[in-house]
Amino acid sequence: MDFDMLGLQPRIVAKLAEQGITDPTPIQKKAIPYAMQGRDVMGLAQTGTGKTAAFGLPLIHTLMKMGVKPEPKTAHGLILAPTRELAKQISDNLKAYTQGTHLKIGIVVGGQSINVQIQRLAKGTDLLVATPGRLIDLIDRRAVRLDQTKFLVLDEADQMLDMGFIHALRRIAPLLSPNRQTMLFSATMPKQMSELADAYLTDAVRVEAAPPGKPIEKITQGLHYVAQSEKTKLLIEYLDGHRDEMALVFARTKHGSERLMKGLVKAGFAAGSIHGNKSQGQRDRAIEAFKTGDLRVLVATDVAARGLDIPGVRHVYNYDLPNVPDNYVHRIGRTARAGATGRAVAFCSAEELKELRDIEKTIKKAIPVIGGRPPEPPQGQKAGGNRRGAKPGGPAGKPNSNKRRRRPNRGGAKARAA
């Protein structure tokens, strides 16, 4: 099946072909026909499988057929994303799909001039991509009206739940046209997702390209047991083995990410960082430098677990295991993009055995042990099952000694949208 067979307008298909996009992904094959019929859609697919096109292409197709110019301060369609990075990625993709057409794509996120955004919204927008917080700021300033918005997309809806955006959604949704089409896309399916779907979707069709929460099969996963105090040394050993390849490293806290990045720079790596303490300009510059290869290692908190679509990322390191197990799926999904292969290595200290159990329960499999030995859990914490450790040996075949202990470092908070 190709895009022609999905019924998309020839002009859209031609634009995709110019970009080398000729074969729809499984989620696109399943979602696009229903979306073009005007049905509400709940789409479940892993990261890196083309969810943006799955909802973006049918919206573009419908708006091109409508041929109606949006009124000032209005938007025909609204796409909500939990983070600035994801919003920018969606906006960039939509602009590429609509290049040369009359459709206008807008984006409003925090960390940028709200006055500039107000000026851009004044003329009306066909498709508006927004983070919930900034959108509410603009609604309060009467810079945008949603009463003519007939299309709503919630992208990465599970992360919106994790980050507490349900309250913002409850305020935004009633402002939209009651006769609207709503689509919800996610990589995982927590219990609250059904409640969200029941509240905002009508007679929705559920399409699924892979079991929710199941990591992409082309990612080689590995688990390395290591004392917290030895993690930086171990990470450097791994990175030394592929200095010319791009690696994304996830840490739990903003201060920890910055400290780790500086340690890697001191060790001779071209490294940068993105986290909540960075301005939007700093985050954008770091991501651009990573994309162009000026940086080979990018250290990030979960603010970047979604929204980074960089095909060249070959390695993902979970320096700290995430507090929210679903975030493990999103983190490792930053590699093996667009059909490529990738490797994801998780570091686990004694203090993180509970997080490891939660992750493996979510992905419904044990992560293969590639180094270290299972440590004894801290007092009061249950052991992580009857797991056998790998033979001693680090990434370069060096002996490991992971018997050192330190106080639990369980700091950090859920990712914040900006």
Give dist(CA 299, CA 269) in Å, integer.
Answer: 12
Kindly tell me if the per-residue pLDDT of 410 is higher than 50: no
Name the token pair of 38.
Answer: 């005007």
**Boundaries of every domain in the chain:** 3-208, 219-371
Quote the pLDDT of residue 215. 66
Q: CA 37, 43, 44: angle at the middle one, nearest 5?
A: 160
Per CATH, the number for 3-208 is: 3.40.50.300
Report the alpha-carbon distance of residue 173 to residue 199 in Å, rounded.
Answer: 10
CA distances from 103 to 32, 86, 127, 144, 338 (A): 19, 21, 8, 18, 26
User: H helices then E strands: how many in the chain?
Assistant: 14, 14
Q: Which of 252-256, 361-365, 403-407 has the lowest mean pLDDT?
A: 403-407
pLDDT attached to residue 317: 97
Q: Which residue has the higher pLDDT, 188 or 151?
A: 151
Which pLDDT does position 4 carry in this prediction? 84
Domains 3-208 and 219-371 share a fold: yes
Q: Which pLDDT belongs to residue 241?
A: 95
Q: Does the pLDDT of residue 312 top 80, yes or no?
A: yes
State the pLDDT at residue 306: 61
Of residues 53 and 280, more confidence is placed in 53
Q: How far apart are CA 274 and CA 189, in angstroms?
A: 27
% of the chain with per-residue pLDDT over 70: 86
- Given a contact cutoff of 8 angstroms between Cβ atoms, the answer to whether 215 and 46 are in contact is yes
Query: Across residues 74-93, what is the average pLDDT?
Result: 93
Structure tokens at 298: 């990018």
CATH architecture of 219-371: 3-Layer(aba) Sandwich (3.40)
Contact 27, 207 (CB under 8 A): yes
Q: What confidence tier does 409 reach under pLDDT thresholds 50, 70, 90?
A: very low
Residues 409/352, Cβ–Cβ less than 8 Å: no
- Cβ atoms 195, 170 nearer than 8 A: no
Residues in the chain: 418
% of the chain residues with pLDDT over 90: 60
Q: Count of CB atoms within 10 A of residue 92's CB?
A: 15
Q: How many CB atoms lie within 10 A of CB 390?
A: 16
pLDDT for the residue numbered 193: 77
DSSP 112-138: S-HHHHHHHHTT-EEEEEE-HHHHHHH
Whose CA is closest to 223, among 46, 336, 387, 340?
387
Return the number of other C-beta atoms located less than 10 Å from residue 381's C-beta: 15
* Structure token digits, residue 418: 């900006």
- When the pLDDT of each residue in the chain is averaged and rounded to a whole number, the result is 86
Tens digit of pLDDT for each residue in 251-298? 999 999 999 999 999 999 999 999 888 887 888 899 999 989 999 999
User: Which of 397, 399, 355 has its CA nearest to residue 378?
Assistant: 355
pLDDT at 411 over 70: no
Categorize the per-residue pLDDT at 212 as very low, low, confident or very high, splitting at 50, 70 and 90.
Answer: low
**What single letter denotes the amino acid at residue 382?**
K
List strands edge to edge, sheet with 271-274: 271-274, 297-300, 246-250, 313-318, 342-348, 219-225, 369-371
Going by pLDDT thresholds of 50, 70 and 90, the confidence category of residue 108 is: very high
